[in-house]
Chain A
Amino acid sequence: MSTRRSRGSTRISDDQIIELVSKLRQLVPEIRNRRSDKVSASKVLQETCNYIRSLHREVSDLSERLSQLLTTIDADSAEAGIIRSLLNQ
């Protein structure tokens, strides 16, 4: 397998790329659960993009809910609640 190197690059080899792609493959749950031998790099990239986007959406959603929760906590007037949370832990 001849590896073409780009001129002036820091010797990025194909093997390195393959290793990185396989590491990425392990992280994305979509791909991890399938047969891992026949997944192309394009598929890995696509699934990675989708996964990161879904994670971003989850974080945004969670932060929205957290902000609402924090504002409603302000409205509550329960010292007992605070003490209870302390005791529950």
Chain B
Amino acid sequence: MSHPPFLSAFNLTAGREQGHITHPRAYLELNIIEMASSSMIPNTELTRDSKRRRKKKSQLRQQEDQSRPKWKSQAQQQIYSSKLRQALARLNMGSPPRPGKAVREAADRVLAVTAKGRTRWSRAILTNRLKLKFIKHKRQRPPTRSKKPRLSVYRLKGKGSPAVQRKVKFLGRLVPGCRKEPLPVILEEAIDYIPALEMQVRAMSALFNLLSSSSSSSSSSSSSSAAASTSTPPSS
């Protein structure tokens, strides 16, 4: 495909041609919550932040900032939350055999999209999903550094013991897309991946609290109103 993988993934999920029938209730609820919470953020802050980011794009010095989205910032979390809500609203509730897994995959995919594909793990998440969806046979990943697969891990002074190597391999398996990368790459990816995961946890728990509080308040109000109506004795 001519498009970069993460862009195609984004287009596919953003389009309506996927044919998922969303439950109107969940869709409505998620949309309204999204509108409500986005109104909380002063618009100026978001636009200022994005304008600043666009201006900085041209400067070389700010490329470091640009290449690593700040996962700690509230703006990033809001971006992720809104995209996650949209993705969850489009999910077909209850139709996949394990809806929890579908939510997890959607959350990971949205996280990777939010990363804008600048890191290996985000690209790996998106390409893996594309592969599973469209390509029946496993396509061989183009070996980027076939000349030195693991030697650079061995040769590092003081860090070449087999125990350390085992841990490095393990870490490489944990971070998506880093199975065959040398040590410094794995470290760099992990340095970006961990704050992203933390932000994902924060955003998802906030969303969970929001939804559970709204649903519990609605259910409690309906039950209390029902109780009130039944408790009043019917006047004859």
C-alpha gap A58/B100 in the complex (Å):
13
> Considering the complex, which residues of chain A in the window 42-89 have a beta carbon less than 8 Å from any beta carbon of chain B?
42, 45-46, 48-49, 51-53, 55-56, 58-60, 62-74, 76-78, 80-82, 84-86, 88-89
**Are A70 and B26 in contact (CB-based, < 8 A)?**
yes
**Are B214 and A88 in contact (CB-based, < 8 A)?**
yes
**Are A89 and B94 in contact (CB-based, < 8 A)?**
no
**Are A72 and B33 in contact (CB-based, < 8 A)?**
no
C-alpha gap A66/B84 in the complex (Å):
12
**Are A78 and B26 in contact (CB-based, < 8 A)?**
no
Most chain B beta-carbon contacts within 10 A, residue among A3, A66, A72: A66
Nearest first, the 9 closest Cβ-Cβ pairs linking A and B are: A81-B218, A89-B36, A85-B214, A64-B100, A6-B155, A78-B218, A63-B103, A20-B187, A67-B99
Chain A residues closer than 8 Å to B214, beta-carbon distance? 81-82, 84-85, 88
Q: Which residues of B contact A (CB under 8 A)?
A: 23, 25-26, 28-29, 32-33, 35-37, 39-40, 88, 91, 93-94, 99-104, 107-108, 147-148, 151-152, 154-159, 161, 163-164, 167-168, 170-171, 174-175, 182-184, 187-188, 190-191, 193-195, 197-198, 200-201, 204-205, 207-208, 210-212, 214-215, 217-219, 221-222
Q: Number of residue pairs across A and B with beta carbons under 8 Å?
A: 201
Known: A45-B167, A78-B222. A4 touches B191 (CB 8 A): no
Chain A residues closer than 8 Å to B210, beta-carbon distance? 85
Most chain B beta-carbon contacts within 10 A, residue among A51, A77, A82: A82
Determine chain B's interface SS by DSSP, over half rule: helix
**Are A74 and B23 in contact (CB-based, < 8 A)?**
yes
